[in-house]
Structure 1
Amino acid sequence: MSGKSVFLIGAGFIGREVLDRLLAENYSVTTLVRREAHAAELQQSGAKTVLGTLEEKEIITTQAAAHDIIFHTATADHVPSVEAVIAGIEARAKQGKKTIYIHTSGTSLLGDDSKGEYKSDKIFYDDKPEDIDALPDTAAHREVDLAILRASKRLGTAAKLAIMIPPLIYGFNPKYQRLSIQLPTLTRFALKHKYAGYVGKGAAVWNQIHVYDLARGYMTLLHWLEQTDAQNVLHDPYFFCENGLEFSWGEAVAVIAKELYKARRIESSEPKTIPENLYDDLFGDTTPWVVGSNARCRANRLRALGWKPQEKTLYESLVQDEIPAILKEDVANFHGYAGVAAVVGKSS
């Protein structure tokens, strides 16, 4: 193989942006897609497609074994699909073939139990992997991350396995009409219940990244992996990607409240605490972690590789892009985020 053969799992909000950049750099990309209509769209862009779901381990293993580079941007919490990727990488290793695998986790991994009551002083740095390794096995996304770490130890220098850990992702590409998860869900909740709300006091803090900057971060990471010694990845597989700015959930919800009130879609511009009995209209039992925890991080490693953020800030994007798009939606039947935003252990 040429070394430019890529298997991409999850050509959605993140993955579609990564796909565009891979194709622009003449990588040969095959994507896993569930629907034929989506497959046709991706084929028009220049990608190859294979129909299948995350549950079809044989398809994923076969495709992983056939490609030099693998991206998983579909979800941070699907163990079977990651196990299938690892099986494909191990099959390649037995044939003497090297593989690069970039998996997508998320900073819910770092989330605490603050439930929106306070801002934490704890900051994680990706050039200090020992702090990330010390996180409990029950932390959000950790089950999948640990499976990758165990596989990396088994494979040694036969493969380079890296974990991208983005914070809150925002941004809107009008061409693809896709939105992220957390703040759009809080916006739809506000439209349904006629007020904007947050968990607890809304005091907890996260970092932020525009999806375009994140996609460029993936490419920066890929190019480094292509050139670096595998030992460097074994030492530290973690990469944060944040734009240098933080936000509190209360501040973000205040922006949502102001814009929705201005549009005459809610009854007050003043946000308030969401009662626990309405969490099913957000993220269910994981709501306090997904939109109420502290998760502070610094992307020292990507910056050292020359990556830097270029896009508009979170609040600019909310006002100019995401909220106008959501105002066009019919939220009458909205009942919370339908996917899995985070899997959190019982004792975490």
Structure 2
Amino acid sequence: MKPAARQEGMWWHPKPQQVATLTSNMSATVTIFLTGATGYIGGSVLERLLKHPNANTFDITVLVRNAEKAKILESKFGVRVVVGAHQDLDKLEACSENAHIVFQCSDSDDVPATKAILSGLKKRHAKLGDLPILIHTSGTGTLVDDARGMYATDVIYSDLNVEQIKSIPPTAFHRDVDLPIMQADEEGYVRAHIILPATVYGIAQGPLFEAGVSNPHSMQIPRLIRAALDRKLADLYIILLDSVLNNPDKTGHGWEGFYFGENGEHTWYQISRTIGEALVELGLSDDPEPTEFSTEELIKYFGSIKIGLYNGTNSRCRADRSRSIGWKPQYTTEDMLKSIKPEIIALRQRESKA
């Protein structure tokens, strides 16, 4: 298989690392609402919150669609659960209104859900007078161009360069959600922080994943693996949380609150070639060299031509602001490539049981 085009991009890995801890007196209860608890990123963030040194001061509520998973979260992990979907806007609004801190870790392009969360936080601010905190998950997809694998780029975005981030067009990926969040921060009823993961990889581990509550697999690389077969970012959330609670005046928010999650660069050719080599090693293919996707295959494996062509765009950035608050990513591009073979094995095992 060959990607429709190449991409230079960033990546993020969810495995545990040492994280900063709260140094202030956290005797008061901190109310937290988190979306996406059964997903890959949301599950990883919830894992960290439950293991946080001050976890006994956290009152965590999550929104979960699956009633069985809700029971496990309540009985085994002591998490408050509201059963519902992200389309239940009234529940999203109510849960957000009742939380001082909201982690939005689900769909980064869900405009109605985001508006419901902001509405709840606005009501909280009007009622209580406090300034609630929103930590939203976007993505470095907002930086992509339309290269379609035909050219590289020398443009590198820094999360410390506010004017550069402001220059991203409103038609870019995720921008229809990011911009209303920025407006809410400017209006003064919320302190907004946006984390932008890059290529997400690896098999997540921990009690939530072992219990079958959260999805241990990311989306991007497994999509390429499925196509080929057929033919450590959570710490940043916790470090940002600690910085917000301990040093709110020194923690950038609004337009100064974009935090990239990267620790190196890769091309999608590298990923595709590594998938091919792993398939040959496992006896699932005879040739490791990637080949092009047809238009029909882009739709079949990625859901749309637009998403498929995303794998051929340029998206380069540097996590300067993220590092400035103490984030120290440990995993490298080599680690990302080494994670591919285990993903293939896990996917094959899962499909054989289906």
TM-score range, shorter chain: 0.7 to 0.9
The aligned residue for residue 291 of structure 1 is: 311
The aligned residue for residue 170 of structure 2 is: 137
Contact 2:184 2:190 in 1 (8 A): no
Quick one: structure 1 residues 278 and 332, their matched pair in 2 at CA, closer, same or farther if it must change by over 3 Å?
farther
Alpha-carbon shift at residue 159 of structure 1 (Å): 2.3
Contact 2:148 2:310 in 1 (8 A): no
Is it true that 1:272 corresponds to 2:291 in the alignment? Answer: yes
The one-letter code matched in structure 2 to 1:124 is Y
Quick one: structure 1 residues 231 and 38, their matched pair in 2 at CA, closer, same or farther if it must change by over 3 Å?
closer
- 1:243-298 residue CA offsets vs partner (Å, 9 max, x unmatched): 2x111000110000010122122242211111222111232122344311111111
Is it true that 1:250 corresponds to 2:282 in the alignment? Answer: no
Contact 1:33 1:39 in 2 (8 A): yes
Match of 2:59 among 23, 28, 32: 28
Tell me, what secondary structure is at the counterpart of 1:49?
A: strand
User: Is 226-235 or 286-295 further displaced after alignment?
Assistant: 226-235
Q: Identity, % of aligned pairs?
A: 33
The aligned residue for residue 207 of structure 1 is: none
The separation in 1 between residues aligned to 2:352 and 2:239, in whole angstroms, is: 38
The separation in 2 between residues aligned to 1:110 and 1:187, in whole angstroms, is: 24
The one-letter code matched in structure 1 to 2:317 is C
The separation in 1 between residues aligned to 2:49 and 2:92, in whole angstroms, is: 20
The one-letter code matched in structure 1 to 2:336 is L
- 1:153-186 residue CA offsets vs partner (Å, 9 max, x unmatched): 11x2x42111111100111125525211111100
Tell me, what secondary structure is at the counterpart of 2:91?
A: helix
Is it true that 1:187 corresponds to 2:225 in the alignment? Answer: yes
Count of paired positions: 310
- 1:28-68 residue CA offsets vs partner (Å, 9 max, x unmatched): 21110001111122221221111111111110111101011
- Counterparts of 1:40-119 in structure 2, within 5 Å, are 40-43=71-74, 44-95=76-127, 96-119=129-152
Contact 2:65 2:85 in 1 (8 A): yes
Tell me, what secondary structure is at the counterpart of 1:330?
A: helix
Contact 1:3 1:68 in 2 (8 A): no
The aligned residue for residue 349 of structure 2 is: 328
Is it true that 1:281 corresponds to 2:297 in the alignment? Answer: no
Alpha-carbon shift at residue 331 of structure 1 (Å): 8.4
- 1:67-96 residue CA offsets vs partner (Å, 9 max, x unmatched): 110001011100111001100110111120
Is it true that 1:17 corresponds to 2:50 in the alignment? Answer: no
User: Is 159-168 or 39-48 further displaced after alignment?
Assistant: 39-48
CA RMSD across the alignment: 2.0
The one-letter code matched in structure 1 to 2:87 is E
The separation in 2 between residues aligned to 1:289 and 1:219, in whole angstroms, is: 33
Match of 2:240 among 216, 221, 226: 221
Alpha-carbon shift at residue 240 of structure 1 (Å): 0.3
The separation in 2 between residues aligned to 1:256 and 1:83, in whole angstroms, is: 39
TM-score (norm 1): 0.84
Contact 2:243 2:251 in 1 (8 A): no
Quick one: structure 1 residues 190 and 332, their matched pair in 2 at CA, closer, same or farther if it must change by over 3 Å?
farther
